[in-house]
Chain A
Amino acid sequence: MNFDISHRTVYRYSAPVAQSHHLLHMRPRTHPRQKLLDYSLYIDPLPASKADLTDDFGNPASIAAVEEDHTMLTFHSQARVDVEAPADFDPSHSPGWNDVAAQLRANLGPETFEAIVYTCPSRFIRPSREVHKFARASFPEGRPLLEAVTDLTARIHQSFTCQSSTVAGAPAPVEEVLRLKKGVCQDFAHVGIACLRTMGLAARYISGYVLTRPPEGMPALTGANTSSAWFSVWAAEMGWVDFDPSNNLRPKEEHIALAFGRDYHDVCPVSGVLLGGGEHEVEVSIAVTPVEPGA
């Protein structure tokens, strides 16, 4: 299924910014179920330098520096992607989670190796007793991995309150989310990933978009109209399997991935460091619309 994405971020500053550097993860990556058909990025004012690169997690990224005084800065990306729904499966027929963890420890081949980095601590996700305590309930010895993760996803969805306002600043530590039992989609993704890593499993963070307009008769998904986040777990021969704890479901084609990383820090769509600028405001607008075949 094809989608058009429009993602616009506008910064407004109370005082002129003399120089700003930005790191962008706005170009949707490709993966076995996703193709990028068309992409453009508009930056105003025009950056003095812009470089495109592929980061260590295989995501396309750009580094842009604006060198003239500005009080407003706009990033607007437009993309068309083709997303395929994953094959359906029965979670109870997945490998036991202990076996998957053992495979990861053993580093048995290129696929395992690619997954190992996602078993390790990262900036926002570190192992802790609190996380282990929460995770353990879903992981009795020998339980099929995807059954356990389905259970974990449901528990996160049930136990935590989804906040509905846009929050600025750095993400909350996982322990704090666990304590307060509330957060936004990225916090729930972080909790899920932290739980899986504590059990010795590989889990990655996915930043992306969720289809804006729901199918007729259905409510809009949580995370629509904004950038969203969910996670993916490595299930040995079954590959990477996505879970969305904010909506308690397994993403199909209405979830469009932007980038994969260990956590939010690796794949934040727009971040930057400025000289000057005083106070700042951010305005983000996102629209994801299905494209009729042949359009």
Chain B
Amino acid sequence: MNSTAGDVALPQEFFSGYQRFAHGCDEALDPNGTVRPAWEPFVQAFGALTRGEQAQRHERLRRLVAENGVAHDLFAEPGTRQPWSADLIPIVIGAEEWAHLERGLIQRAMLSDLIAKDIYGPQTLLKTSRIPPRLIFSDPAFLHACRDPNPPAHLVNFFAADLVRDTNGVWRVIDMHAETPAGAGFALANRLLHGQLMGDVFRACHAVRLARFFERLQTELVQRLERDNPLIAMLTPGPRHEDYFSHAFLSRYLGLQLVEGGDLRVTGSRVYMKTLEGLKPIDLIIRCVEGSHCDPLELDPNRFGGPVGLVQALRKNPKLIMNSLGAAVVENRGLASWLPQIAKQLLGEDLILEDTGRRWLGDLDARVYVFEHPERFVIRPAYEGSGRPGRAEQGILAETLTPQKREALKFDLELNGTAFVAEERHDCATVPSWTAEGLKARPFAMRLYAWAADGEYRVMPGGLAMSLDGTPGVAMSATDGHSRDIWVCSEQQAAVPHITLMRPAGEVAEALRTGAVLRSRIADNLYWLGRYGERADWVMRLLKGALTAASDSGGAGTGDGGPRALELLLGKDQAAGAVQGLSTDPHAIEQAVQLLMTAPGRSYSLPGLRNSMLRAGGIVRERLSLEVWQTLLRFSNIVPDEQDGAADPAMLFDRLSEGIVTLASLNGLTAENMTRNFGWRFLDMGRRIERTFNLAELLLALFWERPSTEEETARLFFMLSVADSTITFRQRYLFAPVLPLILDLLAVDESNPRGIGFQLATISKHLWALPQATQHSPHTEEQRIVLDLMTRVRLANVAGLAYPGPDGVRTGLQELLGHLIASLPKLSEAITRRYFNLTEDELRRVAARFGQAS
């Protein structure tokens, strides 16, 4: 370990204690234990840091990964969440070696593209048995509906290959990806995080930046479309997909619209995006959805990952989708044995990067051979879906099976061998991994990307590396999600001009997104996020108010405002049984509060509302800042679960206080951090409409009838406290509250942000600013409803409203609040009809089935 680079000595202690595997094949050290030349600058720069500094960076990287949500599977069940981590130490690849990999990757990309074009075109390779036709026809990724006599320039635009280095030092391809951008978002995210922490080391290594590659891609995508301001959408299966982070990250970075199948519609063989302003034609779809899931009409009838009619739209415009539908067929692992021949035939070249040894088990001879030498092979599926990087299936070791099970496997393969391959086992080279206990050797695989927007393929100067589990198979299978960056180091400093550091992703996205269209589904869910958030806040205020009243009084004297409010909430779920005459007994109140805080199935209980907020929030996540999202998650953790059991009132009280504060900070964050675009208006409108409704309902429930003076005063205090207006009232008046003043404060006064008047005025401002608003009459339906409500409230005579009739009933108040309560749902429906209608109900499939009529 006494190698030198130039005249600077390498830090001696950097590799002390580093244990290589028995095979000795390592990226950083040659078999003699000398640092490889490509790694010298890295070892110099990184090794120069003290262990303390390294540990600090390690810890910061861990935190950044968590905070950026790289590791977060939004909707994954707890326990099934996929771990993700990034290593401080990258894979360092020297210029010469990289040039070899680059050539090999481009050759692979071209070959895959040619194969795909043949399979979906003349099928010459199949007819002449260059590829066994059964291999393709048995692969569910081969889509008969996508056979095309006039293919576009490329069927495969986004290509990736997974490579390992075997113990002879040879790079071998273990998998190819042509279905989606294959986790490129993770590679990008890793690089951006690394950039923040390892910029000094990165520069010292003269490593190549990714920015230029992506900028070029962006430019070429637009060029390809030959029109100004093209609408490019990235089609994702949605937040439930394990690779969603990658889709969201990449689309944000490239400034593309991230859409799901439900955001799109095919009309007259053109694809449109549903937006607030109506249907907008889409020029290009970058596909992150499996091909067969993209059109329920012609492909898998049970999958709605793309718009109905997409295949027909593609026939009309063969350049519409990248990668084209069905491209995944070239991922089939069974192809490996035939690729050298095909490369010779189609390209006139030898394969630059060879495959790991694989045999397709649809072939009888291969099956016989594999069962003669079970110790040499791992049996694995020939095709897998496109999931998160590092999740390839691990395969079966025939050798380890009992004779009985081995026979069963043999029989299954006779029936279904086309779906499997046998893979030769071999060890893989290791790379040092940074741990607090010192460097640790880990075998790895790396995924490299070659993309062609319009013309030729270009290789991303970097990629995504993952540690392998050390399982028998040689797939990219990394159950602990341990990933790392790949640095391509140029030998000459001058060759890499030091352009500015990459702009952070958010900045790029923001700049490109200004004035971008808002999808109807996003607007819809922002609106409901606003409504559910406000409802949760209201419920917590009522529960807290009821608990306070119950504990203050010890059972009597502070009135029945609390119980009445609880009745109102409990009555929302008709199915759960309406509740009447809840007593003022503190026990009964605590029980009701506990129910509303923990029952998951109710629409006005905290768990129910929390779930609704998460659902809506998940859909609009890309519109929310990281802080907003984290606050939402924090709120979700505050809501108790049913299994928490009977809790004491103090705990309930604390949870409620904490919840109210968290939601307040959520509202504060959205108010402060969201740009005042249409999205924000919908969120705020949802909040205002909900608040108006809740206030009107509670005012009506508590004051429609005149009780005793003492009781009325108690209710007024309760009302003030839940409407968070006690202080405002105190500042204005020094005496006990009376109804006319409360009505003035909570209904008419347009300056009290907790009052009805303020809500209505704000709603009207939003409605007049939306895309389809009319500034002059005749106004839209929703504008008319708000005008009517505002006028009625403004003209209200509070003294008259508070005046009871001879029977004690305040008919004026009843009429006004009743009108509000009846009109607000109509307002919500009118907004839905105008702006969210394109979201529509679910798609359904129909077919006439065979049978006998007589």
Contact = CB atoms under 8 A, between A and B. Distances in A.
B848 A284 contact: yes
A280 B848 CA distance: 11
A155 B265 CA distance: 48
A67 B267 contact: yes
A116 B137 contact: yes
Interface string B385-429: 000000000000000000000000001100110110000000000
Contact of A121 (B269, B298, B418): B418
B843 A121 contact: no
B229 to A, nearest CB: 27
Interface string A98-135: 00000001010010010011011101001111001000
Interface stretch (B125-133, B150-158, B657-665): B125-133
Interface in B812-854: 840-841, 843-854
B612 interface: no
A166 B308 contact: no
B845 A272 contact: yes
Given A56-B144, A113-B127, A277 B854 contact: no
Contacts of A123: 300
B62 interface: no
Contacts of A229: 850
A107 B843 CA distance: 42
B145 interface: yes
B415 A129 contact: yes
B25 to A, nearest CB: 40
A277 B298 CA distance: 20
B266 A271 contact: no
Interface in A162-176: 162-171
Contact of A107 (B129, B416, B847): B129
Interface string B32-67: 000000000000000000000000000000000000
A232 interface: no
A223 interface: yes
A273 B845 contact: yes
Contact of A272 (B297, B300, B315, B850): B297
A277 B133 contact: no
Interface string B131-144: 01110011000001
Interface in A133-190: 162-171, 184-186
B76 interface: no
A163 B847 CA distance: 19
A168 B849 contact: yes
A227 B845 CA distance: 20
A222 B297 contact: no
A63 B415 contact: no
B850 A186 contact: yes
Nearest to A51: B312
Among B265, B269, B846, residue most surrounded by chain A Cβ atoms (within 10 Å)? B846
Contacts of B301: 170, 265, 271
Interface in A207-258: 207, 222-229
A100 B364 CA distance: 16
Contacts of B850: 166-167, 184-186, 207, 223, 226-229, 264
B309 interface: yes
Among A23, A105, A164, A228, residue most surrounded by chain B Cβ atoms (within 10 Å)? A23
A87 interface: no
B615 interface: no
B238 to A, nearest CB: 19
Interface string A263-289: 011101111111111001010110000
Interface string A36-63: 0000000000001101010111000001
B415 A270 contact: no
A268 B847 contact: yes
B127 A53 contact: no
Query: Helix, strand, loop or mixed for chain A's interface?
Result: mixed
Contact of A274 (B269, B844, B852, B853): B844
Contacts of A275: 840-841, 843
A18 interface: yes
B133 A116 contact: yes
Given A21-B309, A167-B851, A274 B267 contact: no
Contacts of B515: none
B381 to A, nearest CB: 14
Contact of B297 (A23, A51, A163): A23
A116 B847 contact: no
A116 B134 contact: yes
Contacts of B849: 166-171, 184, 186
B846 A226 contact: no
A198 B843 contact: no
A284 B847 CA distance: 11
Contacts of A63: 297-298, 309, 312
A223 B296 CA distance: 28
A119 B342 CA distance: 24
A282 B846 contact: yes
Among A49, A186, A266, A277, residue most surrounded by chain B Cβ atoms (within 10 Å)? A49
Nearest to A286: B853
Among A67, A117, A276, A280, residue most surrounded by chain B Cβ atoms (within 10 Å)? A117
B127 A273 contact: no
Nearest to B129: A107
B411 A129 contact: yes
B268 interface: yes
A207 B231 CA distance: 42
Contacts of A71: none
Given A207-B850, A223-B850, A282-B848, 9 more contacts: A56-B144, A63-B309, A67-B268, A119-B137, A171-B849, A223-B852, A270-B847, A272-B845, A275-B840
10 contacts: A21-B297, A105-B364, A121-B416, A167-B851, A229-B850, A270-B847, A274-B845, A275-B841, A276-B840, A280-B846
Interface of B: 126-127, 129, 132-134, 137-138, 144-145, 147, 265-269, 296-298, 300-301, 308-309, 312, 315, 364, 411-412, 415-416, 418-419, 840-841, 843-854
Nearest 9 CB-CB pairings of A with B: A166-B851, A56-B144, A271-B847, A127-B415, A120-B137, A273-B308, A120-B138, A117-B137, A186-B850
